[in-house]
Each structure stands twice: as structure tokens, then as C-alpha cells.
Amino acid sequence: MRRGSWKIRIFIGLAIVAFAYIQRCSNKEENPYTGRIQNIDMSTDQEIAIGLQSAPEVTQQFGGLYPDERLQSFVDQLGHKLVNSSIARETPYKYDFHLLADQQTINAFALPGGQVFVTYALFSQLNEAQLAGVLGHEIGHVIGRHSAERIADGNFWQTVTMGASVGADAGDIVAQIGQNTLLTNGREDELESDELGVLLMLQAGYDPNELITVMEILKAAAGPNRVPEFQSTHPDPENRIEKIKEAIAKYRNGKNLN
């Protein structure tokens, strides 16, 4: 009886894992703005809805919006300048740009669908061109559909973990493999967004070398004890600078500027 039960568990576990892989293969699609093949299991409308629903809670986590309408307007206008003068205007997303009140945390991020945030702690250290680089990078995350891709990856590994747990009690191992994969992909997302940020800056008339200065600011903010690259979801600033230089050379030679 126990032996039969064990075989049934293995069969069910394998079926769940097979379903996860079949579903993952069926979700492959090409991103029309980056040309990259991605696994996405949601529509752009769903991305927009997730971003809009999450924005109020995220805003509160950083102390709300910075209480200066003039600066809020400046950030929003600069963000839309980048959108309207670049490939971002062709995307279906609803872009909004927010200056967060947090004066301690140096950070900027984007929610799926076009909600973009920068903390005052970072904003206060940047000139206009550098801020354009930061916002361009975050727009790049939206264009690259990185959050949607991570959600799809998370759903995949959750299903695989469930199958492994049912079939062989190996859920923890598979979950760790999934986590490591997500971290690696996250670093690639950052590099792709850096390249897109360079393109958006050039299309909007900003010097993309200012994005290199942003990397130096982030490096200085992290201090001498920053986490090694292989343990971080972000590439080391030095590596990002080299990739940014490559992107500048690529696009200044006239490739894909229109």
C-alpha cells in the first residue's frame, strides 16, 4: 500500500512539473521593443492594473510623496519628456513619475505598467541629466517587462516546487534553484535597463555619460563594504559603467536611434 502510494505521489509530482514546463513554453513571446524572447503570463493591461493598485502602498512605505508640488511636477515633466521623445511613447503603458519623501534611502524603482518612483535622497544628489538617466533606466524596466517576467518566473518555480514536494520532498532544493535563477535574471534586467536608459537619454537630447556619474554616486553611497556582485540582485557599478560605455558607443554610431 505504501509502495503504491509512493508511486502515485511520484506520478502526480512529475505531472505537475510537466504542466509547469508546458505552460512556460506556451508563454514565450518576443518583446517588440527589445527583441528579446520572454516568458510572460499576463497582458499589458494586467501589468498596468498591478502597478496602479500597488502604487499607494509602495508610496506609503517611503513616507509618502515629497511635499513640494514644484519638485513633483519637475520629476513628472522630465519623465514624460523622456517618454514622449523616445521609443517609450510607442508602448501601451500609463507612465507616472513620483518623488518620494524618503530622505535616507537612495533608491529608484518602477512598478509594472509604468509607475516610476525616485526617493528624495537620490533626487537631491542629481542634476537634470543625471535624473533623466535614472528615470530612463526605470522606464527601461517597464519597456523590458521585467516585473512581468519575474512574476511569470515566480509562478513557474512555485508550481515546480509544489510538484517536487509532492513527488520527492525536494521542494527546498528546487525553490533554491529558482531563487538563484531569479537573482541572475535580475542582474541582466539591470544591464538591459541601463542600455535602454542610454537610448532614451540620447533620444531626449541628454548626455548619456551622466548615467555613468549616477553609477559613481551609487557606488559611493554603497561604501567600501558593498555586497559582492554574485550575492546581489544588481551588477557591480564598475561592471555597469563598462556596459553603459558600450551602449553609448553603440547608439552614438547611429544604431537604433529612431
Least Cα distance to 144 among 221, 69, 199 occurs for: 199
Which three-class secondary structure state does DSSP give residue 34?
Answer: coil
Tell how strand 96-100 and strand 37-39 pair up: unpaired
Helix (H) or strand (E) holding 119: strand 115-119
Q: What is the dihedral of CA 15, 162, 181, 189, to 10 degrees?
A: 100
Phi and psi, residue 139, nearest 5°: -60, -35
* pTM, two decimal places: 0.77
Q: Is 93 exposed, middle or buried (0-12, 13-18, 19+ CB in 10 A)?
A: buried
Give the residues across from 117 on adjacent strands.
98, 109
Give the residues across from 109 on adjacent strands.
117
Contact 235, 194 (CB under 8 A): no
Name the residue with cell 549616477.
214
Query: In Å, how far from its chain's centre is CA 161?
Result: 24
Q: What is the dihedral of CA 82, 62, 54, 52, to 10 degrees?
A: -40
Model pLDDT, residue 40:
80
Contact 71, 88 (CB under 8 A): no
Give the residues across from 39 on adjacent strands.
28
- Domain borders along the chain are 2-252
pLDDT tens for the 258 residues of the chain, in order: 455 555 555 544 444 445 444 554 555 788 888 888 887 877 889 889 888 988 999 999 999 999 999 999 999 999 999 999 999 999 999 999 999 999 998 989 998 899 999 999 999 999 999 999 999 999 999 999 888 787 766 654 454 455 445 444 434 433 443 434 333 446 788 899 999 999 999 999 999 999 999 998 888 877 665 554 444 556 676 788 999 999 999 998 765 555
